[in-house]
Chains A and B, each alone.
Chain A
């Protein structure tokens, strides 16, 4: 053993950081994928449902959007622990983050579906399309295209919010860096590296989103 408890950053730490990077990427992709699919279903349902169901469902989704994500993570992981079914932090984090994503995605998709003019749907029906044909060939393609920039915005915020899953013990990037900081006592170098990673992922995508938005505006 060395003379000091603190050892400086070395190349052998890169594997540890890489695990954190991969875990951040994995849980973000899972949450974006599951959240998008669930959000699509819920958003479509809300665009179709009657006012009563809509208000009820809206209230539930509203809770997911009005309680801090970190509290949701703590509550869910404590709850499943207390009832005797503790889950892996990755599974717990994925469930909570996916549901949180779904709450935002459903609003995005609902807006998309409602932006498709009723006259277009009526026209498609009068051409002999079935209900599901109008969904598959008219409402989905047109509605989804309109909300692509907003979808990207939510996806980007999910990548950033995935950092909070560290609170329930998932070894994502920020948590691995925190552990490295407590060993090396070199917070600035490590944090700048972490910040750069998020920036390099997020910035080009946000530029692309702005580009698409500008193209669609005309």
Chain B
């Protein structure tokens, strides 16, 4: 049996789909920004000698890395209800993505920080650099170079995983596609367009990231 494609209805709904794509980008960018901020704190806590700091950070990182993202979203959406916290679909997906991003990025940041030989600290001191100069000119530029690619990958992961919003009725690209296709039952057409949009978004992100890295690092990656 052959399937007959009808694309008209999908193109009529393109503005709504684009709106969904915008929400997808919105939630993933926000989840990265908040995730980065928390990851910096967690990385510092994890490297601390005091267990009251390092233990909670380790627990956070290991739970984030060893449970499915869908579990985190269900936990935020259904599980927190037991504490009287009722999140909207957007807030639930955002907090789940922040939780996972922070967990993965903590290890990225810690790895980036520890990859810089300790001798560089003493070398810069013996050259008479202040500690601001040390971090500004020596440590942070090298660190940023090493965490740049893992961070880009994490961002792409966030975009792809925000599609789980479909399961809690969020209005990002997947959820919006689901809602629109249910009005017309052109399921295949709608999800094909959504797939193309995801592909283009991730390619665009990776392409811009490569462009930025060329400008900033001038090929010395």
Contact = CB atoms under 8 A, between A and B. Distances in A.
Interface of A: 63, 66-72, 74-75, 78-79, 82-84, 156, 160-161, 163-164, 166-167, 174, 178, 181, 186-188, 191-192, 194-195, 198-199, 202-203, 206
Interface stretch (B136-144, B189-197, B209-217): B189-197
A203 B65 CA distance: 8
Contact of A199 (B67, B166, B174, B188): B67
Contact of A66 (B70, B187, B192, B198): B198
B150 interface: no
Contact of A161 (B68, B79, B156, B192): B68
A-side binding surface: helix, strand, loop or mixed? Answer: helix
B75 interface: yes
Nearest to A188: B82
A194 B71 contact: yes
A74 B195 CA distance: 10
A174 B70 CA distance: 8
B40 to A, nearest CB: 22
B62 A68 contact: no
Given A68-B163, A75-B191, A188-B79, A82 B71 contact: no
* Chain B residues touching A, range: 35 or more
A191 B79 CA distance: 7
6 contacts: A68-B163, A71-B198, A82-B3, A166-B70, A188-B79, A202-B66
A70 B199 contact: no
Contact of B199 (A63, A167, A187): A63
B74 A71 contact: no
Contact of B66 (A78, A181, A203): A203
A199 B163 contact: no
Contacts of A84: 1
Interface string B125-167: 0000000000000000000000000000000100011011011
Given A75-B195, A83-B3, A163 B78 contact: no
B188 A82 contact: yes
Given A83-B2, A191-B79, A67 B195 contact: yes
Contacts of B70: 163-164, 166, 174
Contact of A187 (B1, B69, B81): B81
B68 A163 contact: yes
Contacts of A78: 187-188, 191
B203 interface: yes
Given A163-B71, A188-B79, A199 B198 contact: no
Nearest to B78: A187
B27 to A, nearest CB: 13
A79 B3 CA distance: 9
Contacts of A163: 68, 70-71
Interface string B54-71: 000000001101111111
